[in-house]
Amino acid sequence: MSNPDFSNDLICENLSVLDDTLYFAGQNTKSLAEKYGTPLYLYDEDRIRKLCRIYVSAVKEAFGDKGHILYASKAASFKRMYEIVKEENMGIDVVSGGEIATAKKADFPLNKAFFHSNNKTDSDIKYAIENGVGFFVVDSLDELYAIDSIAKSLNKKPNVILRITPGIDPHTYEEVATGKVDSKFGSAIETGQAKEITGLALNLENIILKGFHCHVGSQVFDSSVYIATVYVMMAFIKEMKDAFGFEAEILDLGGGYGVKYTARDPEIDIYANVLEVCNCVKDEAQKLSLALPELYFEPGRSIVADAGLTLYTMGALKKITGYKNYISVDGGMTDNPRYVLYGAEYTIVPPTMMSAPRDMVCDLVGRCCESGDIIQEKINMPSTLKRGDLIACLTTGAYHYSMASNYNRIPRPPVVMLKGGESYVAVKRETLEDITNLDV
Ligand SMILES: Cc1ncc(COP(=O)(O)O)c(C=O)c1O
């Protein structure tokens, strides 16, 4: 018999098959499910560290001490992630008091934190200033004034960079395309509002304007998107220098590099891409007679996505004769809302029967009382699957644990890290007591 072809399943180097069983980070997924239960988020720590190092080494090669990587912690925010990122000499992007508090719990140096969000509440602003968050990434005029006024009341002068909308279409899902003029994020160059907010920021007494930020979107594979963004942002920096005599010290190009969810997705050479973008910034700085800014990238997804995998246990196979088949599992939109949000594609495999013929077309659905609770439609699975068998959803490290909810009061799964053949719990499984704890 010829060797089975797993090329559509083994989409990342940390996946392998041995004795018909899926291994992740060199560990047997069946044994991990037995040890920790399902649903279960697994994270490959070695893979996370490898990706952090690719980014850091690329930016350091091109920019030396002026090159920085921030981990966009919205992708997966829990204490252990901040510890890993701290050890990898990176900064962080945070979006709420909750993310700041989690980073603080990990003793993360908050002067290396950039506080994002299009609507920072007054209490979050106060909390961030009091805890020494390094930079505010300001989204709007209202927010700029709020930060200035809260800073004044606290007798502080926080650093500010302004989120600019460069008007670039990143050719990705509409829901994560954030660099277009009509995005809810940032101030647009095209409408003149980016220039306006810059002039106003320079006149405020209780903030220090350091530079500019942009983030054009997520799951971007086309490096020309970043190059186009650099041209626009460097031209804007030059325009602000000419208009106000203000030369940005910081340029933050955001995150967005894409990852493989299926074998059809392209593979990105992150090192080469980051280097190319850095060199473009250097060339533009020279052409426009600008000083080299401190350059930041903010990857989230591409640091953690394929370092993650979710294991489920199958409940029922329902065959609606003449219509369709459903496999339901013990998780769903509560631990993975991305199909519901964007129709996101995934690779789904039966981890304990990898070479069984995938002879049944079915939808993989969750356990929530909601018809839209779908993890993936029209997948091929073995018709021999039965209640109690495992199902794995690959590439679930980004925007899964961090987007999880308690809909139907379903407890969230634990996060288990895999490292060098060992495993350990980074986030405990929620209990029914956790679920009812806040009710008074
Ligand atoms: C401002 C900002 N920076 C960075 C990121 C990270 O993007 P990604 O996870 O696609 O790398 C996001 C994602 O939404 C973002 O909004």
Phi and psi at 15, nearest 5°, equal -110, 140
Residue 347's CATH number? 2.40.37.10
Instruction: Name the 3-class secondary structure at 392.
Output: strand
**Which residue's CA is the nearest one to ligand 1's atom 12?**
255
**Which residue's CA is the nearest one to ligand 1's atom 4?**
255
Same domain, 333 and 259: no
* Domain residue limits at 271: 116-299
| Six token digits for residue 301 | 């997804």
Do you know the residue count of the chain?
A: 440
Q: How far is the CA of 72 from the centre of ligand 1 (A)?
A: 6
Same domain, 237 and 134: yes
Same domain, 338 and 364: yes
State which ligand 1 atom lies nearest to the alpha carbon of 163.
1
End-of-domain residue from the set 257, 273, 299: 299
State which ligand 1 atom lies nearest to the alpha carbon of 116.
1
CA angle 163, 168, 170 (to 5 degrees): 105
Tens-binned pLDDT, residue by residue, of the chain (440 aa): 567 889 999 999 999 999 999 999 999 999 999 999 999 999 999 999 999 999 999 999 999 999 999 999 999 999 999 999 999 999 999 999 999 999 999 999 999 999 999 999 999 999 999 999 999 999 999 999 999 999 999 999 999 999 999 988 766 555 555 656 777 788 999 999 999 999 999 999 999 999 999 999 899 998 899 999 999 999 999 999 999 999 999 999 999 999 999 999 999 999 999 999 999 999 999 999 999 999 999 999 999 999 999 999 999 999 999 999 999 999 999 999 999 999 999 999 999 999 999 999 999 999 999 999 999 999 999 999 999 999 999 999 999 999 999 999 999 999 999 999 999 999 999 999 999 999 99
Query: Which of 338, 342, 349 has the alpha carbon at shortest distance from 375?
Result: 338
User: pTM for the full model?
Assistant: 0.96
Same domain, 35 and 143: no
C-alpha dist (Å) from residue 48 to 55, 272, 437: 11, 18, 33
Instruction: Name the 3-class secondary structure at 363.
Output: strand
Q: How far is the CA of 433 from the centre of ligand 1 (A)?
A: 33
Given ligand 1 and candidates 183, 218, 233, 341, which is best to mutate, with the most ligand atoms within 8 Å of its CB? 218
Residue type, 3: N
Provide the CB-side half-sphere exposure for 321 (13 A, CA): 0
Is 10 among the domain residues? no
The count of domains in the chain is 2
Same domain, 322 and 279: no
Residue type, 387: R
Same domain, 234 and 365: no
Is 52 among the domain residues? no
Same domain, 205 and 310: no
Q: Alpha-carbon distance 272 to 406, whole Å?
A: 40
Same domain, 338 and 403: yes
Q: How far is the CA of 116 from the centre of ligand 1 (A)?
A: 10
Residues in the ligand 1 pocket, defined by CB under 6 Å: 72, 75, 93, 116, 215, 218, 254-257, 298-302, 398
End-of-domain residue from the set 299, 329, 352: 299
User: Which residue among 52, 368, 369, 393 is the active-site one?
Assistant: 369
Same domain, 178 and 214: yes
Same domain, 383 and 324: yes
- List, in sequence order, every residue forming a beta bridge with 297; answer none if it has no partner: 69
Asked about 214 being catalytic, the answer comes back as no
Phi and psi at 157, nearest 5°, equal -130, 85
- Give residues with Cβ within 8 angstroms of 5, minimum separation 6: none
Same domain, 229 and 332: no
Given ligand 1 and candidates 93, 277, 399, which is best to mutate, with the most ligand atoms within 8 Å of its CB? 93
User: For tokens 């426009």, what's the residue?
Assistant: 288
Same domain, 165 and 189: yes
End-of-domain residue from the set 234, 268, 299: 299
Q: How far is the CA of 322 from the centre of ligand 1 (A)?
A: 43
Residue 256's CATH number? 3.20.20.10
Are 263 and 15 in contact, with CB atoms under 8 Å apart? no
